[in-house]
Chain A
Amino acid sequence: MFTTGSKLFLAGTAVSALAAVVWGITNGGPAGWLGTVGLISLAVAFALLFGITTFVRDCNVPGSAPGAATQSAAAQRPAGRSMWPAIAAVGIGLMTVGADTRPLVFKVGVVVLLAAIVEWMVQGWSERASSDPAYNATVRQRVAHPLELPLIGAAGLAVMIYSFSRIMLFLSKSNGPWAFIMVGVVILVFAFTFASRPSLRKGVIVGVCTIGALGLVSTGAVMAIGGQREIPKHPTVADDAYAQCTRDAATTEANPEYAEIEHRASQHVAAKSDPMAQVELRNGQLEVYIVGIAAPQKTLTVARGNIVNILFVNRDPGKVRLTAYAGTDVQTVNDTVIKRPRRTCTTLIGTDNEQMLNVVFPKASEATTADDPYTLTVPGLAGQQIKVVVP
């Protein structure tokens, strides 16, 4: 009753349907229903193919038909040797190793196994499609190339990008641009040469491109082994999760004062490119550098009610923070007036580290008194402050 081909698709239908049930029961949420829908779709597709192959009897040629002896499937040569079983074995091996080591290896194994199975099936089918090997090769390409070429292209591109990234991460910030300018010039020269000599043999062009690609990948591999250059790590709140703006590094007691830590300060890359001022602690002196004013200052003038980006750099030993005092916040809660100092600070940062401080001074300096000005200070460092003036 069942033909050889239809048995395969029937089994596929049964396995997919069973997998859909198991997946649906064991997985909840979007992944659960999405996977179930996908597997049911697969089962429906297999069922359709099962029906077609059953109906057309695998397209087998009846024994009474003219030329049956030469055109029937049984008369064709059996499928030839194939590398795909070996590749499938590699996939299974990766899955086995990955199951015990890293999930990524397991996933790669699954991909390799699936690819090998699909390719093997396509090869087996195409080599028995007709008695003409040239036609068989054509139908194989027609089926396989739309899948193979984009995937191979994407994989090749991924390898190139990964190799590029390893090279960029290995080279220093100053050498990187020069290296890639040289690479760009070399590519331009070769491209110009190829374009200006249309008669150049195809093999030469393919050879040069292959050597270039292999050079890129091997250089990337070598530099990946060499590791990344040292990338400065900017301290974040994770280094000092319970900081308070009035506490120095040595103080550990809880502080009841209102304090606001700039949690994402080290991530403000754009702001870092053009801070309004740079405050430096060097040799126990706290000074502010403003673009356009040559000498370091002890006073910083900022606009009222606007975000001010200040880059704090610690050149002294030990961990310190910069604290901005922006007056007193007065609130009335249940007829009770609550006054709290309005402070913002960086986290504690070590020697030669820097941290961004984003602060707003909402009121003009008119709101302050001579003995209580807006300031930038380093807790624990006596006698040093930057006076902030808000016109």
Chain B
Amino acid sequence: MIHEQRDQTVKIASHNLFRRVILTGGGLAAIVMLAGCARDAPQDTFQPAGENARKINNLQTPVFIAAGIIGVIVFAIIGYSLWRFRDRGQEMPEQNHGKTSLEIGLTMIPAVILLIVGVATVSTVFALAKTDDTQCTINVTGQQWWWEYDYPAQPGCIPGGIPAPIVTSGELIIPTKSKVLLHITSRDVIHSFWIPRLNGKRDAVPGRDQTLRMEADEPGIYTGQCTEFCGLSHARMRMAAVSLEPTDFQTWMNNQLKAYKSPAESETLAKQGEGQFISNCARCHQVNGLTQTDPSTGAQTPVLANPDLYEVSGSAPNLTNLMTRTSFAGATFDLITPECRQRLYEAKPEDFGKIYLEGVTPDCFNATELREWLRDAPAKKPMYSNPADLGPTGGKYRGMPNLNLTESQIDQLVAYLMERR
């Protein structure tokens, strides 16, 4: 009698535990599933915004549905079999080899499904690898932990073409509805370029030139993330593709190609900032057109960055038109305030170009982020830039070191950089 009561108690306790586990597990699974349903997810492959991403989506959606249905059927059959034929002390049923027709059928059905998926996948892969319909070519170079974009002089991109090379970073500007071909490579380790709403991933491998198609249906910002672990700040190696209407792209291009203008002598702070830039920043960062007076001849000579002497990757972002971008340091930190960022994200396609091309206006300037960066960059974004730890790299940095600038030097640099637009 006592044994029976104890067994009953254990049975009830087990049943309650089972219920709790099912409820908790089911609840967690539902939360995780619902988290994937965000409509405003900026890096959602299920919300394609261009022809190439749409090709991928057209492939992945039916495959996911088929895989889901098959998965449910398989689990249901397994569950039913486990429950229906569980051990209840019955006699061992007759053992036989199986049914040949059923086995052939169960082999052929998956084979046919896989064949269909295989044909669709291969044709999509070939379609995504096409290069002969390219309208615009851009070189993309990854390094720890930011992306550089070079626009070769070319007849394409927009009517009239790009007359002279352009170099920028952080934000990849592409003309809307244009078939863009990216030539992707890396300067140091393997990275991976991925703008989920515009196309799949492509690894950036040192010494190799890999191509990736890119096309956006509408003007807007499409964000992405390096998807190959590449070191300390991999998570802060972000990217953004900015799609502009051809006329806006033309405006952007003209802006990038305009000649350097030194701050006027009357602009004391910015003029001093130019000097600070030459002293502290120009070793690695190039500003095209910046000159300085040669003390021996008195002539104006170009200020040339030598990042190959100081950086492992041999490169640092070109800052000629820094304030035409909305972010810096690997598209990680905003150059514009959260309000202006929101306004940009929520802009209608027809208004987007105008707002983006305004660049970093005084009203939108996020001085806090930039000042913090200039004050102590490694504190804001982890980088191998402690001078005491550079033995393995032969004294070269991975990222920007702390320059130990004073507050007044920072003021001057900020004033100078605000004019780089």
Contacts and interface: CB of A to CB of B under 8 A. Distances in A.
B148 A303 contact: yes
Given A276-B183, A291-B181, A367-B304, A303 B208 contact: no
Contact of A309 (B151, B209, B304, B318): B209
B44 to A, nearest CB: 28
A293 interface: yes
Nearest to B181: A292
A181 interface: no
Interface in A230-286: 270-271, 274-276
Interface in A351-391: 358, 362-367, 389, 391
A389 B139 CA distance: 13
Contact of A306 (B156, B302, B315): B315
A301 B307 CA distance: 19
A366 B209 CA distance: 24
A295 interface: yes
B322 interface: no
A275 B209 contact: yes
B402 interface: no
A373 to B, nearest CB: 12
Contacts of B306: 363
Nearest to A391: B167
Interface in B154-202: 154-156, 165-167, 181, 183, 185, 187
A362 B308 contact: yes
A307 B143 CA distance: 13
Would you call the interface of chain A mostly helix, strand, loop, or mixed? loop
A293 B209 contact: no
Contacts of B139: 301-303
A28 interface: no
A221 interface: no
B210 interface: yes
Contact of A366 (B100, B151, B183, B286): B286
Contacts of A299: 152-153
Nearest to A297: B154
Contacts, number: 98
Contacts of A275: 209
Contacts of A270: 208
Contacts of A306: 141, 185, 187, 206, 314-315
B288 interface: yes
A384 B308 CA distance: 30
Contacts of B305: 364
Contact of B206 (A294, A307, A391): A307
B134 interface: yes
A305 interface: yes
A304 interface: yes
Contact of A292 (B151, B208, B211, B318): B211
A290 interface: yes
A271 B308 contact: no
Given A271-B207, A304-B315, A307-B206, A389 B308 contact: no
Nearest to A306: B187
B290 to A, nearest CB: 9
A307 B207 contact: yes
Contacts of B369: none
A391 B150 contact: yes
A270 to B, nearest CB: 7
Contact of A293 (B154, B165, B302): B154
A389 B285 CA distance: 18
Contact of B314 (A290, A305, A391): A305
B141 A364 contact: no
A145 B134 CA distance: 65
B131 interface: yes
Interface centre among B134, B183, B211 (most CB of A within 10 A): B183
A276 B313 CA distance: 19
A309 B134 contact: no
Interface string B308-320: 1000011100100
B137 A292 contact: yes
A293 B304 contact: no
B210 A303 contact: no
B27 to A, nearest CB: 47
Nearest to A389: B165
B57 to A, nearest CB: 24
Given A276-B183, A292-B131, A391-B166, A301 B152 contact: yes
A97 to B, nearest CB: 50
Contacts of A292: 131, 134, 137, 181, 183, 211
Contacts of A304: 314-315
A362 B313 CA distance: 11
Interface in B76-107: 100
A303 B404 CA distance: 30
Contact of A274 (B150, B208, B302): B208
B166 A305 contact: no
A391 B154 CA distance: 14
B208 A271 contact: yes
Contacts of A274: 208-211
A276 B153 contact: no
A303 B150 contact: yes
B207 A293 contact: no
Interface in B4-40: none
A274 B208 CA distance: 6
Interface centre among A271, A290, A294, A303 (most CB of B within 10 A): A303
Nearest to A307: B207
Contacts of B181: 291-292
A134 to B, nearest CB: 35
Interface centre among B166, B207, B210, B313 (most CB of A within 10 A): B207
A305 B318 CA distance: 13
Nearest to B141: A303
B304 A363 contact: yes
A362 B314 CA distance: 8
B330 to A, nearest CB: 17
Contacts of B288: 364, 366
Contacts of B150: 301-303, 391
Interface centre among A300, A306, A367, A389 (most CB of B within 10 A): A306
Contacts of B304: 363-364, 366-367
Closest 10 CB pairs of A and B: A301-B152, A305-B314, A391-B167, A292-B181, A292-B134, A292-B137, A391-B165, A276-B209, A303-B141, A307-B207
13 contacts: A274-B210, A276-B183, A276-B185, A290-B137, A291-B183, A291-B209, A364-B304, A366-B286, A389-B152, A389-B165, A391-B151, A391-B166, A391-B167
Given A270-B208, A389-B152, 7 more contacts: A276-B183, A291-B134, A292-B211, A301-B150, A301-B152, A305-B315, A358-B207
Interface of B: 100, 131-132, 134, 137, 139, 141, 148, 150-156, 165-167, 181, 183, 185, 187, 206-211, 286, 288, 302, 304-308, 313-315, 318
